Amino acid sequence: MQAAPPSAPTPSSSDQPQGSPHPASPEHPLRNSVLAVVLGVGALTWAVFPGNPVIESPSFGGPAILTPGSELPIVARVAVPWVTEVEGLSLASGPIRIALPLVRPPARGARLSVLARVPQDCAPGIYDLVVRAGKREARAHRAVAVLGSIPERFTVAQITDLHFGYRAAGEASVQTIVDELNRLGPALVLVTGDIAHNGRRREYDRAQHVLDQLTMPIVVIPGNHDRRGWGAYLTRFGFPYRSVAFGRWTLLGLDCGHGRDEFTESQFRFIARALDVAEPGRLIVLAHIPLAGARSVRAHARAVMELFERKRVPLVLSGHWHYGAEYGTGVAGPGRTQGGTQFVVTVSAGGWLVKKPSGSRDPRGFTLITVEDGRITAVEAHSAGVVKTPTAGAREANP
């Protein structure tokens, strides 16, 4: 009897995955070779030309404020992890370069945490931070403020709602306020959002040109209008929420300008952690949108306010309404700090003017806060002293 011829390969033979209804893809040696060459050239390019490192903190909007001899923590990212090393750190002011010795060398990786020290003989001033990795440098504008000492009595100024790009008269108002602040000489200036009206890069260019004239460090948070140009904002001012130390005080800057659910779960956890490490009673919180009242923060607002009261936060500064106001939480009445937190809304520095519930309009201006012996002793509203140019009728601060 003649043997049966061998059968043709079945779909379950060794050249095809078991259970697959489709035939195996044929080999493409040329395609695989081209792909290998492209990947190899790409890897070599990244190794030889890794690109500039990126400084995450400190930043223009979240500076490190310290005294000579203090330790300076720095966080930077490099393009080629575990290959690129931080080879030099310095402070720069014009042609002056001040080398920063390392306290602890960074471990290799994509995100580097570096601990440096400001030299004892470093002159007080506001400096750019320069990080050199390989042959490339990154520079963080006005990221380090070196002070001779941190006083127990000082003043802090708040400006908000600059709205560069809205009206020329508003930009002139911001310039006047900056000139006044340089004359008054507060220790810090806190900028609580809506820096650019439409989020255009040229609006941020003009805003930065004016803010650069301030002779003291500034802490910046975003507003809802800054979301219109999010990349331009982040490039200039850094991460949107932050904790900045000023001696024993903590400046807690929040991001509550990106929609109805302003405080996300991750930011709520950040707030809780920051309050845990801060000294109770020595905190000033910055939040562009107020936490209560009309046009207020929605998500986690009450829980955040309860955290503030529990940790004895004396003051929360906001903007967004374009008129000056104070409000309480039900525990502490408006303007009272005993037993609760004082919530203050500052009038717009450069935006349109809005009618208050009383029917009047505040002129453009700023707020001055006096701190003495570890407590806030005064919160005062100041007019910018410029020509008032209100628009007709009351308008929302979030058009």
CATH number where 82 lies: 2.60.40
Note whether 328 and 210 are same-domain residues.
Answer: yes
Note whether 338 and 369 are same-domain residues.
Answer: yes
In a domain, 306, yes or no: yes
In a domain, 185, yes or no: yes
Among 96, 118, 146, residue at a domain's last position: 146
Tens of pLDDT, residues 283-315: 999 999 998 887 888 888 888 888 998 889 999
Note whether 183 and 65 are same-domain residues.
Answer: no
Determine the structural domain holding residue 244 and report its residue range.
154-383
Note whether 129 and 186 are same-domain residues.
Answer: no
Note whether 188 and 322 are same-domain residues.
Answer: yes
Note whether 119 and 158 are same-domain residues.
Answer: no
Tens of pLDDT, residues 132-158: 887 788 999 999 999 999 999 999 999
pTM exceeding 0.85: no
- The number of domains in the chain is 2
Note whether 165 and 95 are same-domain residues.
Answer: no
Examine the pLDDT at 193 and tell me if it is beyond 70.
yes
Provide the mean pLDDT of the chain: 84
Examine the pLDDT at 380 and tell me if it is beyond 90.
yes
In a domain, 24, yes or no: no
Note whether 111 and 221 are same-domain residues.
Answer: no
Note whether 130 and 162 are same-domain residues.
Answer: no
Note whether 142 and 276 are same-domain residues.
Answer: no
Note whether 90 and 111 are same-domain residues.
Answer: yes
The answer to which of 141-155, 256-270, 311-325, 344-358 has the lowest mean pLDDT is: 256-270
Task: Report the percentage of the chain scoring pLDDT > 90.
Answer: 61
Note whether 282 and 362 are same-domain residues.
Answer: yes
Q: What is the CATH number of the domain that holds 195?
A: 3.60.21.10
Among 146, 164, 193, residue at a domain's last position: 146
Tens of pLDDT, residues 90-129: 999 999 999 999 998 776 666 788 899 999 999 999 999 9
Return the pLDDT at 48: 53
Examine the pLDDT at 26 and tell me if it is beyond 80.
no
Return the pLDDT at 371: 96
Question: Tokens for 3?
Answer: 């043997």
